[in-house]
Amino acid sequence: MKNSDPDKIIERTSFGEIVVNGEKYEKDIYINIFGKIRKRKKKLSKKKYGTSHIISLEEAEYVYEKGLEELIIGTGQEGLVTLSPEAKSFFSDMGCNVIMSPT
CATH of 40-103, one of 3.40.1230.10, 3.40.50.300, 1.10.10.10, 3.10.690.10: 3.40.1230.10
DSSP string over 28-83: -EEE-TT--EEE--THHHHHHHSSSSEE-HHHHHHH--TT--EEEEE-TTTT--EE
pTM for the model stands at 0.84
| Model confidence pLDDT, tens digit, residues 42-81 | 999 999 999 999 999 999 999 999 999 999 999 988 899 9
Residues of the chain with CATH 3.40.1230.10: 40-103
Tell me how far apart the alpha carbons of residues 64 and 81 are, in angstroms, rounded to a whole number: 17
Residue 41, pLDDT > 80, answer yes
Tell me how far apart the alpha carbons of residues 24 and 87 are, in angstroms, rounded to a whole number: 29
| Model confidence pLDDT, tens digit, residues 19-34 | 999 999 999 999 988 8
Instruction: Decide if 45 contacts 56 (C-beta within 8 A).
Output: yes
Q: Are strands 29-31 and 37-39 parallel, antiparallel or unpaired?
A: antiparallel
